[in-house]
Amino acid sequence: MLRFLHILLLAGLLGVLWDKVDAFGGVRLVDGDDECSGRVEVLRHDRWGTVCDHGWDHREANVVCLELGCGLAELALHNAKYGEGRGAIWLRHVQCTGHESSLTRCAVVLHSNSYCTHENDAGVKCSGTLLTPTLILLSPHTVFSPGEAVRFGCSALLADHLSDLHLYKQGVSTPLVTQRADHAQADVELTLSDIETFHQGSYNCRYRIRGGFPSQLLSSPPSNSINITVVDLLTPQHWYNTSSDAPAGSVIKGQNFNITCSTMQQYPGGSFQLRLIRSNGTVRQSLPALTPSVTFTFSNAQSANEGYYYCLYRVQLGGRTFVSRESQPLPIAIRDPDPLLSPMVISWLVSGLTFVVAVIVIIIVAKVLCNKEKKPSELERETRTCVDNTYVALSINKL
């Protein structure tokens, strides 16, 4: 019997609630400063009536503003702030949780002893638009390397009404990060993971809240903007120049040579570092990267300049230091200069001198032999002398 009475009571209550939902129509604001402020009126049985302000606070006012697409309530007003209405007072002592799709779906105190007149007509002043959220950077810096994560915090101050929050990059229409809201949260973390160079730019956040109907979501204005920089340093290239008579990969001792480092991507305040690894240690030197390429000059090359050279690019941004990968090793050997008379030249000279000496010896021998053949004998000398003397004597006698 008791259970039967409970069933009858529940059925009667459901009938009352169904009648209430079925009887009420829309909600409107009357006599306000604009379409999002005024006296609250509800439609029931094709007649507009007012709402009593007993128990009227921001929860009920927010439901009205959201239902009308007017943002959130700035003021929940009492005592006929926007003038007294006429006709019936349809709702008395309304009790909303703040999540209803309509004021007419809020609970009411059926047996309230409060006495209401039109002097107690409730009113609201809505924001018209949703309040602007605030974006902060939770990461300790604004400059990042590829692969790192960027942590943002979006504050909406509307924990009871939030549906979700979004992180937008300027110039991109779809959100990069979406986070469902917890009704107990006013600050939500939005993390951009594994960033790349295309993530560099300006970011803002927005939130959405539930509107007057379950499927209706209202979007807030964008928050303030925060810029992030993504530094992706390319591996620099390098090469060397020296005299043309030096063999490839070598520099002749005592001569000058240059090593040039170059990068395709330059940042303000960057510098190039040249690292020499040799048998007895490592030597480093740096030059500011005022241009995409810089040249390290070495004069009077010595054995200490021999080794493997590496080039890298370094830059400091946002309090952080970023260093590129090192270039491929550039081996340079220091060679002694060639002697003035190389073995080949000496061989040629010796061969030539031997030939000349041989020719001279041959000439001398030939002359000696020739002179020996022409020398007269003793008898020939005497005979010639006698003849010559006779010839001379005869010549004198004739005179």
Domain of residue 202, CATH code: 2.60.40.10
Q: Please check whether residue 272 lies inside any domain of the structure.
A: yes
Q: Which of 120-124, 139-143, 178-182, 330-334 has the lowest mean pLDDT?
A: 178-182
Nearest CA among 7, 43, 8 for reference residue 22: 43
User: Which among 230, 263, 298 is the end of a domain?
Assistant: 230
Are 323 and 249 contained in the same domain? yes
The listed range with the strongest mean pLDDT (12-26, 327-341, 381-395) is 327-341
Nearest CA among 207, 253, 259, 202 for reference residue 226: 202
Extract the tokens encoding 284.
């480093």
Mean pLDDT of 141-158: 92
Alpha-carbon distance of 133 to 131, in angstroms, equals 6
Q: Please check whether residue 384 lies inside any domain of the structure.
A: no
Are 28 and 80 contained in the same domain? yes
Burial of 54 (0-12, 13-18, 19+ CB in 10 A): middle
Q: What is the pLDDT of residues 253-284, one digit of tens each?
A: 999 999 999 999 888 899 999 999 998 899 99
Are 31 and 98 contained in the same domain? yes
Alpha carbon of residue 368 to chain centroid: 97
Q: pLDDT at residue 17 above 60? A: no
Number of domains in the chain: 3
Q: pLDDT at residue 45 above 60? A: yes
Are 22 and 91 contained in the same domain? yes
Domain of residue 45, CATH code: 3.10.250.10
Q: pLDDT at residue 393 above 60? A: no
Q: Please check whether residue 367 lies inside any domain of the structure.
A: no
User: Which among 126, 157, 182 is the end of a domain?
Assistant: 126
Q: Please check whether residue 284 lies inside any domain of the structure.
A: yes
Are 187 and 266 contained in the same domain? no
Alpha-carbon distance of 113 to 358, in angstroms, equals 148
pTM equals: 0.61
Are 170 and 272 contained in the same domain? no
The listed range with the strongest mean pLDDT (22-31, 196-205, 340-349) is 196-205
CB 312 within 8 A of CB 324: yes
Confidence of residue 128 (pLDDT cuts 50, 70, 90): confident
Q: Please check whether residue 20 lies inside any domain of the structure.
A: yes
Alpha-carbon distance of 279 to 305, in angstroms, equals 11
Are 102 and 153 contained in the same domain? no
Q: Please check whether residue 381 lies inside any domain of the structure.
A: no
Range of the domain at 174: 134-230
CB 179 within 8 A of CB 128: no
Are 159 and 184 contained in the same domain? yes
Q: Please check whether residue 282 lies inside any domain of the structure.
A: yes
Are 298 and 319 contained in the same domain? yes
Burial of 362 (0-12, 13-18, 19+ CB in 10 A): exposed
Are 63 and 142 contained in the same domain? no
Confidence of residue 130 (pLDDT cuts 50, 70, 90): confident
Mean pLDDT of 231-258: 94
Q: Which of 15-19, 258-262, 390-394 has the lowest mean pLDDT?
A: 15-19
Alpha-carbon distance of 129 to 35, in angstroms, equals 12
Confidence of residue 378 (pLDDT cuts 50, 70, 90): low
Are 285 and 224 contained in the same domain? no
User: Which among 310, 335, 360 is the end of a domain?
Assistant: 335
Extract the tokens encoding 82.
């926007």
